[in-house]
A and B are shown apart, each in its own frame.
Chain A
Amino acid sequence: SQQGEEDPQALSIQEGENATMNCSYKTSINNLQWYRQNSGRGLVHLILIRSNEREKHSGRLRVTLDTSKKSSSLLITASRAADTASYFCATDKGGSYIPTFGRGTSLIVHP
């Protein structure tokens, strides 16, 4: 069963706007990761945030983690058409360090 669940399932925005995706999970974690997948290809690791971190930045990406609410958000600022992809959160669970993936958010950025 999924550990993380992304919300919304689909997001459609204009180029230049910000995109926010959320991930909720059920059990305690050591870390949470975000991945991007273009057109059913391989996943690309974007960012990893540890359970003792609250916020992390990488370029136009900002990830927050709220362990009390068991949730995380991924913010993409000033989106570009090339950001069009599916975004997945992944968490480890139950003592296993192997990530379990959510269903993903499909992001479309219109030029």
Chain B
Amino acid sequence: SAVISQKPSRDICQRGTSLTIQCQVDSQVTMMFWYRQQPGQSLTLIATANQGSEATYESGFVIDKFPISRPNLTFSTLTVSNMSPEDSSIYLCSVEGGDRGSYGYTFGSGTRLTVV
């Protein structure tokens, strides 16, 4: 299965600023997924990132707030823009194992974001 390097692992940011999270995969993958996990909650899908096209955002998430780049088949970034304390969460990237996740999904180690 793929190995994902995600960074930073954690950060404390001032409100109104932006943070860019990076995920590097050790193999080429078609789709990459970005999730948010609010404290004590489940994972919520933010968007799906395809190389060479705009990301597809889930309901409640918009590109202006969470711009995503996918410059090649092994790399993606998620930016959390104009942060507020409500953005304090763990952010995770993920890739599918096998066709349409038929072997499960691999996750990065997560970025724990605290906005003060």
Contact = CB atoms under 8 A, between A and B. Distances in A.
Contacts of A31: 102
A42 B105 CA distance: 11
B43 A101 contact: yes
Given A41-B110, A45-B105, A102 B42 contact: yes
B97 interface: yes
A25 interface: no
Contacts of A104: 42
Given A40-B90, A43-B92, A98-B33, A88 B100 contact: no
A44 B106 CA distance: 7
- For chain B, what secondary structure do more than half of its interface residues adopt (helix, strand, loop), or is it mixed? strand
Interface of A: 2, 31, 33, 35, 40-45, 47-48, 88, 90, 92, 97-104
A88 B110 contact: no
A44 B105 CA distance: 8
A91 B94 CA distance: 15
A2 to B, nearest CB: 6
Interface of B: 1, 4, 6, 33, 37, 41-43, 45, 48, 90, 92, 94, 97, 100-110, 112
A104 B6 CA distance: 23
Contacts of A43: 43, 92, 94, 105, 107
B107 A44 contact: yes
24 contacts: A31-B102, A33-B105, A35-B104, A35-B107, A40-B90, A40-B110, A41-B110, A42-B92, A42-B107, A42-B109, A43-B43, A43-B105, A43-B107, A45-B104, A47-B104, A88-B42, A88-B43, A90-B105, A97-B100, A97-B101, A98-B45, A98-B101, A101-B43, A103-B42
B23 to A, nearest CB: 11
A94 to B, nearest CB: 13
B107 A99 contact: no
Contacts of B112: 40
Contacts of B41: 103
